[in-house]
Structure 1
């Protein structure tokens, strides 16, 4: 520390001091995460994993380690006055919370995206050193913080496993017309999809310059609007879509019902469906449609009875009953005042706190549940956070539910989730089934499909429809 203090004064001193202050309350890392999240794929996943790692590292360093290991901070006169922070921290010096958060974020980002890690790791190292440079931590505090942060980042893999950035498999080839420049294609574009509502119109026009473009009408059901446009255009050989999972699901349902191939450009926030299909960007979509390369994949459907007119909905990713639909409705209300992600967190806490169990018949067997998750295909991992599909042609539904007929079921579920022991928990069930019949015994509930709240119902029949959708994607390497 004396060697650091003895360094001659340079313009870098002000930069290092400002860098140290910018990392207060992890503000710097939230800003970096926002930049990384703009780019789809590994960089965005790295940002999300990094934020999760910061939460764990901050709790471990500030709430656990500091109270256990009280230590005086370096004396103020240890460093020159021009380096000193205006507000010196008063908590225990050991370990460095700033270093723990910096290491956690950088390590988490690097695990998902080594390229992004090359940029973030030096910045994290500079933040860690700045705590010594400004005289608020001993070097051993920084070393301990780095060890804690790195350990927490690695530990996130226990709950959120890394997976290869590979598309899902399907053995079902499909016939689809070559769409030269998108001729005879009707493409729906959602200009408000994705981070900051980036309009994908330019990408669509570049890939399919001859396609007819339409935009969602807020006053109409998207499926009805698309069906009317198909009738009006007469000759439509394929449907295209540029948007997030909700928009893609709506267009995919119309494509499946009318036997039209689907071409998609991922333009949402997470793009789970496009990622699993293997279409990562506009060039992927352009190449596949130009060559007429397509595959058949499964879709899932749910028939809804018991409240008003019978309903029917397709879904490409997931459906759910119980707490999730209520959370979506509350989140949409909160979004008038808060951003989407904080609104979702607030809604989840409120719903789980006040949730009431559902008395249901699951394929004829009575039970009580807190929520039911139904995936289109078998998801991995089999624990709390299903995130990907290894295959798109299993002909099965991934059914998961949390039992409410056992004592302390919610507490036991949370504990099992935190310890990654859901596979051994009595309150958690997972099954792979071709069909699921859910009958509510107390009133009606809404079903959510692909993140959108659907109609009320009392009986819900979920089914897998093998190879119901033809989607454009390039052939496997070496095929």
Structure 2
């Protein structure tokens, strides 16, 4: 009897489009070398991650581990599918920011492969976001509505410029055209620039909580930026880098604490009034479109909602 090759229980899905835009080297050969028994699928132009995983689960030897080589959007969708099919998630980060991967201590592909070799699996908290009565979507980091979805939509219209220049142009345009959003929560109406609902408690001084700070606590940390200041403050509040936030605070561009409402809850729900803003919202950097008649957004914390490979302690 021969030993099972390393990685025999793993399905690796590589989204090469995540790293290609950054000029990064192809890491698929490294994955094949470190996990020679794994099934490796490189996502084609017309394929979806959902289809690839569904096909694998319907085969004779379905995987017990789903490894994703890609950016934040791919990792988030893989987490959703891992939960749907009761798989353990292995993160092999290859995107722009890699928010969740950094939160779990996996800064690059090699660290992810090391985590698999160490066999250290741990459950982490996630969130489920749903619009109206739609199917819940797994969220690893944060959900947002208002200024941030508008910024992302504007940046995506300028993909030919690259993310940095496209983002700069989008920020400039949003400083002149950002929309306040009319929302209702618990019977109270408000006009807000943005709402961020992050997974787990985060830095109380942050507004744009795009990267989670903890792994275990099943709570939703909400930041509501009330529309009392200028559009420039609305855009400045989207900064999430520690150094950038510090500089903007020193320049007194960031909104004052009195404009920010923080809510900690296990289950957060908010209604966006019809006609008050573009019909979009964001989860883990992925844009979602909804109807033009307003919508109800619910974000619910789920403790131990996902099994993930983490670095050896």
Q: Tell me, in whole angstroms, the C-alpha distance in 2 between the residues paired with 1:209 and 1:380.
A: 41
What is the TM-score of this pair, normalised by structure 1?
0.56
- Residue range with higher mean Cα deviation, 225-234 or 346-355: 225-234
Equivalent residues in 2 for 1:21-60, closer than 5 Å: none
**Where does residue 459 of structure 1 map in the other structure?**
296
Task: Compute the displacement of 1:198 (Å).
Answer: 3.1
Q: Tell me, in whole angstroms, the C-alpha distance in 2 between the residues paired with 1:232 and 1:352.
A: 51
Q: Which secondary structure state, in structure 2, belongs to the residue aligned with residue 442 of structure 1?
A: coil
Q: Is the Cα contact below 8 Å between 2:194 and 2:234 reproduced in 1?
A: no
Q: Which secondary structure state, in structure 1, belongs to the residue aligned with residue 136 of structure 2?
A: strand
**Where does residue 367 of structure 1 map in the other structure?**
190
After superposition, the C-alpha distances for 1:58-82 in whole angstroms (9 at most, x for unaligned) are xxxxxxxxxxxxxxxxxxxxxxxxx
Q: Which secondary structure state, in structure 2, belongs to the residue aligned with residue 380 of structure 1?
A: coil
Out of 213, 233, 244, the residue aligned to residue 71 of structure 2 is 244
What is the TM-score of this pair, normalised by structure 2?
0.83
Q: Is the Cα contact below 8 Å between 1:191 and 1:197 reproduced in 2?
A: no
Q: Is the Cα contact below 8 Å between 1:207 and 1:282 reproduced in 2?
A: no
Q: Which secondary structure state, in structure 1, belongs to the residue aligned with residue 76 of structure 2?
A: helix
Q: Tell me, in whole angstroms, the C-alpha distance in 2 between the residues paired with 1:415 and 1:271.
A: 21
**Where does residue 258 of structure 1 map in the other structure?**
85
Task: Compute the displacement of 1:389 (Å).
Answer: 3.7
Q: Is the Cα contact below 8 Å between 2:171 and 2:235 reproduced in 1?
A: no
Q: Is the Cα contact below 8 Å between 1:364 and 1:437 reproduced in 2?
A: no
Structure 2 gap segments, 5+ residues each: 238-244
After superposition, the C-alpha distances for 1:168-223 in whole angstroms (9 at most, x for unaligned) are xxxxxxxxxxx962102111111122321432212211221111111223334433
- In structure 2, relative to structure 1, the CA distance for the partners of 1:363 and 1:212 (3 Å cut) is farther
- In structure 2, relative to structure 1, the CA distance for the partners of 1:401 and 1:326 (3 Å cut) is same
After superposition, the C-alpha distances for 1:218-271 in whole angstroms (9 at most, x for unaligned) are 334433442233223542111111111111111111001222111122222222
- In structure 2, relative to structure 1, the CA distance for the partners of 1:203 and 1:377 (3 Å cut) is farther
- In structure 2, relative to structure 1, the CA distance for the partners of 1:462 and 1:364 (3 Å cut) is farther
Q: Tell me, in whole angstroms, the C-alpha distance in 2 between the residues paired with 1:376 and 1:250.
A: 16
Q: Tell me, in whole angstroms, the C-alpha distance in 2 between the residues paired with 1:232 and 1:446.
A: 37
Are 1:333 and 2:157 an aligned pair? yes
Q: Tell me, in whole angstroms, the C-alpha distance in 2 between the residues paired with 1:276 and 1:341.
A: 23
Q: Which secondary structure state, in structure 2, belongs to the residue aligned with residue 219 of structure 1?
A: coil
Equivalent residues in 2 for 1:141-160, closer than 5 Å: none
Task: Compute the displacement of 1:461 (Å).
Answer: 0.7
After superposition, the C-alpha distances for 1:346-393 in whole angstroms (9 at most, x for unaligned) are 112212421222111124422111111121222236224546544211
Count of residues paired in the alignment: 292
**Where does residue 436 of structure 1 map in the other structure?**
268
User: Whose Rg is larger?
Assistant: 1
Q: Tell me, in whole angstroms, the C-alpha distance in 2 between the residues paired with 1:386 and 1:319.
A: 9
After superposition, the C-alpha distances for 1:102-151 in whole angstroms (9 at most, x for unaligned) are xxxxxxxxxxxxxxxxxxxxxxxxxxxxxxxxxxxxxxxxxxxxxxxxxx
Q: Tell me, in whole angstroms, the C-alpha distance in 1 between the residues paired with 2:95 and 2:301.
A: 25
- In structure 2, relative to structure 1, the CA distance for the partners of 1:202 and 1:274 (3 Å cut) is same
Q: Is the Cα contact below 8 Å between 1:322 and 1:445 reproduced in 2?
A: no
Q: Which secondary structure state, in structure 1, belongs to the residue aligned with residue 83 of structure 2?
A: helix
Q: Is the Cα contact below 8 Å between 1:299 and 1:468 reproduced in 2?
A: yes
- Residue range with higher mean Cα deviation, 462-471 or 291-300: 291-300
**Where does residue 393 of structure 1 map in the other structure?**
216
Q: Which secondary structure state, in structure 2, belongs to the residue aligned with residue 232 of structure 1?
A: coil
Q: Which secondary structure state, in structure 2, belongs to the residue aligned with residue 303 of structure 1?
A: strand
Q: Is the Cα contact below 8 Å between 1:265 and 1:285 reproduced in 2?
A: yes
Q: Tell me, in whole angstroms, the C-alpha distance in 1 between the residues paired with 2:169 and 2:39.
A: 40
Task: Compute the displacement of 1:274 (Å).
Answer: 1.0
Q: Is the Cα contact below 8 Å between 2:141 and 2:211 reproduced in 1?
A: no
Q: Is the Cα contact below 8 Å between 2:199 and 2:219 reproduced in 1?
A: yes
Q: Is the Cα contact below 8 Å between 1:192 and 1:199 reproduced in 2?
A: no
Task: Compute the displacement of 1:415 (Å).
Answer: 8.6
Q: Is the Cα contact below 8 Å between 1:180 and 1:289 reproduced in 2?
A: no
Are 1:188 and 2:18 an aligned pair? no
Q: Tell me, in whole angstroms, the C-alpha distance in 1 between the residues paired with 2:108 and 2:257.
A: 40
- In structure 2, relative to structure 1, the CA distance for the partners of 1:276 and 1:411 (3 Å cut) is closer
